[in-house]
């Protein structure tokens, strides 16, 4: 078959999780919690199923859940999203990203992506006939020089993809970054796809710079978020997309023919749960504690720790230890030391290798301890 995506293999998350299983390694590669979610949430989903909510949900999602999403967002970021016209419930963040891109990107459109980048952005753009314009960020701080970003703009620039807190680097966009972006896109019709699935995983008292805060940006933006990160349930594959009415209209044209609608009892259960729990309010502290603990442990290893301002990923550099490609280094950690990580070169279109590995710390304390006990031997 004439492949639509030649050169694209299986996503690094599946590859590394499978290897971890085969080698019985501690899996700090793919990002997911290894501790249970709140049993109350499971009860609420159960209740929805028992109460007979087992048929199709409305195509854009359950109204009560959309209303909660709009209220939460508008409350946090002083935006004005309307549940009826601006919120769509999706089968996870990745589906929302895929749908937003499919709804907008056409042959020849250029999309600016900051790399290292979550691995679905580039291939999806290419599959749609679009062209990726990469801005490569580099360790240790993965700073963005907006004057350089400006050089990537052309008459064909259709979209810019943001991700803050950033996977894999843990970088967060600052108010200054947002000002630069506003200046850069002012007077253009460049769209924004803002992947904010880690919005509540932000540390040291920092404020999440949601695109929703900025009227000039949000009027041209799709914002993608994830219940998996909010509720520690990545396997439920539940998320949502916020966008102004004209963009949501296009989004739903694709959504209805892709999944049509998503899991009904989950939507009821989550809506019920979010109604009486400001559950996400504790997330920054919960994960900051894990980050601090993991960093303290990792300080005993030979790795150099890179900064982590948000997300549940901690990157380390081993550039001072050896010159091995990061893919080889990650393989060695799995096969010889029993710890799975993600080689960050997988997140660069050109596979740029800065000798950096990503570890997920959304894990039980004992998992982190066991992993570092093994890594100390390196
Ligand atoms: N977002 C998760 C990560 O970065 C993985 C999601 C997936 O496996 N598709 O590890």
Dist. CA 373–CA 302, nearest whole Å:
12
* Gap from CA of 197 to ligand 1 centroid (Å): 11
* Gap from CA of 31 to ligand 1 centroid (Å): 5
Q: Is the predicted pLDDT of residue 374 greater than 90, yes or no?
A: yes
Residue 161: both structure tokens together: 């993809």
Answer CATH for 39-278 from 1.10.3210.10, 3.40.50.2000, 3.40.50.150, 3.40.640.10: 3.40.640.10
Out of 177-181, 281-285, 293-297, least confident range: 281-285
Helix (H, G, I), strand (E, B) or coil at 125: helix
Whole-number pLDDT of residue 279: 74
pLDDT tens for residues 325-336?
999 999 999 999
Q: Is the predicted pLDDT of residue 313 greater than 80, yes or no?
A: yes
Of the pLDDT bands very low, low, confident and very high (cuts 50, 70, 90), residue 45 is very high
Provide the β-strand partners of residue 112. 133, 160
Say yes or no: CB of residue 94 within 6 Å of ligand 1. yes
Instruction: From 234, 311, 313, give the residue whose CB has the most ligand 1 atoms within 8 Å, as the site to mutate.
Output: 234
CA atoms within 13 A on the CB side of 25: 26
Please state whether beta strands 110-115 and 157-163 pair in parallel, antiparallel, or not at all (unpaired). Answer: parallel
Say yes or no: CB of residue 31 within 6 Å of ligand 1. yes
Q: Do domains 12-37+282-375 and 39-278 have the same CATH topology?
A: no
Sign of the CA dihedral with 366 first, then 29, 69, and 286 last: positive
Q: What are phi and psi of 11, to 5 degrees?
A: -55, 140
Ligand 1 atom index nearest CA of 360: 10
Q: Is the predicted pLDDT of residue 356 greater than 80, yes or no?
A: yes
* Gap from CA of 126 to ligand 1 centroid (Å): 20
Question: What single string gives the DSSP state of each residue in 9-28?
Answer: -S-HHHHHHHHHHHTT-EE-
Ligand 1 atom index nearest CA of 13: 8
Sign of the CA dihedral with 217 first, then 218, 219, and 225 last: positive
Question: What single string gives the DSSP state of each residue in 253-309?
Answer: HHHHHHTSS--HHHHHHHHHHHHH--GGGGHHHHHHHHHHHHHHHHTTSSSEEPP--
Provide the β-strand partners of residue 316. 305, 357
Query: For residue 133, which of 106, 101, 157, 167 has the smallest C-alpha distance?
Result: 157
pLDDT tens for residues 61-96?
999 999 999 999 999 999 999 999 999 999 999 999
Asked casually if ipTM beats, i.e. exceeds, 0.85, the reply is yes
Q: Which helix (H) or strand (E) holds 42?
A: helix 39-50
Name residue, tokens 């997309």: 241
Residue 147: both structure tokens together: 């004057």
Residue 244: both structure tokens together: 């102004």
pLDDT mean over 349-376 = 98
pLDDT tens for residues 190-227?
999 999 999 999 999 999 999 999 999 999 999 999 99
Which residue CA neighbors atom 8 of ligand 1 most closely?
Answer: 13
Whole-number pLDDT of residue 278: 72
pLDDT exceeding 70 applies to what percent of the chain? 100
pLDDT mean over 10-14 = 93
**Most distant pair of Cα atoms in the chain: their distance:** 59
Name residue, tokens 């609608």: 261
Q: Is the predicted pLDDT of residue 308 greater than 80, yes or no?
A: yes
Instruction: From 29, 30, 196, give the residue whose CB has the most ligand 1 atoms within 8 Å, as the site to mutate.
Output: 30
The verdict on domain 12-37+282-375 having CATH code 3.90.1150.10 is: yes
pLDDT tens for residues 95-113?
999 999 999 999 999 999 9
pLDDT mean over 145-168 = 98
Q: Is the predicted pLDDT of residue 280 greater than 90, yes or no?
A: no
Say yes or no: CB of residue 210 within 6 Å of ligand 1. no
pLDDT mean over 231-255 = 98
Of the pLDDT bands very low, low, confident and very high (cuts 50, 70, 90), residue 277 is low
State the DSSP code for 311. S
Say yes or no: CB of residue 29 within 6 Å of ligand 1. no
Query: For residue 97, which of 255, 216, 220 has the smallest C-alpha distance?
Result: 255
Residue boundaries of the structural domains of the chain:
12-37+282-375, 39-278
This prediction has a pTM of 0.97
Say yes or no: CB of residue 153 within 6 Å of ligand 1. no
* Gap from CA of 182 to ligand 1 centroid (Å): 29
Q: What are phi and psi of 37, to 5 degrees?
A: -80, 175
Q: Is the predicted pLDDT of residue 276 greater than 90, yes or no?
A: no
* Gap from CA of 189 to ligand 1 centroid (Å): 30
* Gap from CA of 226 to ligand 1 centroid (Å): 12
Query: For residue 285, which of 199, 168, 201 has the smallest C-alpha distance?
Result: 201
Whole-number pLDDT of residue 301: 98
Question: What single string gives the DSSP state of each residue in 135-200?
Answer: EE--TTT----HHHHHTT--TTEEEEEEESSPTTT-----HHHHHHHHHHHTTS--EEEEE-TTTT
- The CA-atom distances, in angstroms, between 143 and each of 51, 127, 252, 312 are 51, 29, 35, 19
Whole-number pLDDT of residue 7: 87
The answer to whether the CB of 57 falls within 8 A of the CB of 263 is: yes
pLDDT mean over 168-175 = 98
Dist. CA 294–CA 371, nearest whole Å:
10
Residue 104: both structure tokens together: 């907008």
The answer to whether the CB of 298 falls within 8 A of the CB of 154 is: no
């Amino acid at each position: 078959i004439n492949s639509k995506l030649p050169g694209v293999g299986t996503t690094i998350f599946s590859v590394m999780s499978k290897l971890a299983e085969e080698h019985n390694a501690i899996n700090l590669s793919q990002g997911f919690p290894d501790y249970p979610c709140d049993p109350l949430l499971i009860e609420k989903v159960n209740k929805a199923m028992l109460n007979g909510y087992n048929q199709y949900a409305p195509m854009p999602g359950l109204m009560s859940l959309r209303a909660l999403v709009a209220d939460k967002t508008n409350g946090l970021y002083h935006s004005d999203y309307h549940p009826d016209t601006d919120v769509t419930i999706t089968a996870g963040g990745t589906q929302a990203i895929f749908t937003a891109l499919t709804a907008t990107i056409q042959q020849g459109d250029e999309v600016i992506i900051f790399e290292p980048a979550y691995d679905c952005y580039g291939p999806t753009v290419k599959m749609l006939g679009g062209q990726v314009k990469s801005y490569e960020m580099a360790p240790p701080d993965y700073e963005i020089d907006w004057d350089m970003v400006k050089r990537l703009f052309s008459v064909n620039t259709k979209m810019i993809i943001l991700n803050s807190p950033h996977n894999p680097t843990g970088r967060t966009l600052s108010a200054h970054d947002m000002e630069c972006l506003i200046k850069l896109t002012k007077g253009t019709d460049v769209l924004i796809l803002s992947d904010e699935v880690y919005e509540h995983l932000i540390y040291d008292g920092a404020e999440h710079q949601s695109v929703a805060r900025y009227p000039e940006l949000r009027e041209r933006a799709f914002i993608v978020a994830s219940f998996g990160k909010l509720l520690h349930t990545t396997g439920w594959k539940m998320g949502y997309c916020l966008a102004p009415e004209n963009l949501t209209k296009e989004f739903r044209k694709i959504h209805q023919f892709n999944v049509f609608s998503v899991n009904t009892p989950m939507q009821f259960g989550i809506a019920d749960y979010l109604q009486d729990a400001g559950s996400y309010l504790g997330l920054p502290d919960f994960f900051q504690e894990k980050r601090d603990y993991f960093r303290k442990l990792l300080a005993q290893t030979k790795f150099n720790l890179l900064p982590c301002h948000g997300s549940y990923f901690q990157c380390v550099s081993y550039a001072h230890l050896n010159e091995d490609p990061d893919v080889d280094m990650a393989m060695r950690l799995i096969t010889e030391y029993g710890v799975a990580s993600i080689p960050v070169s997988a997140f660069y279109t050109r596979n740029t290798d800065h000798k950096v590995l990503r570890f997920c710390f959304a894990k039980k304390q004992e998992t982190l301890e066991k992993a570092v006990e093994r890594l100390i031997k390196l």
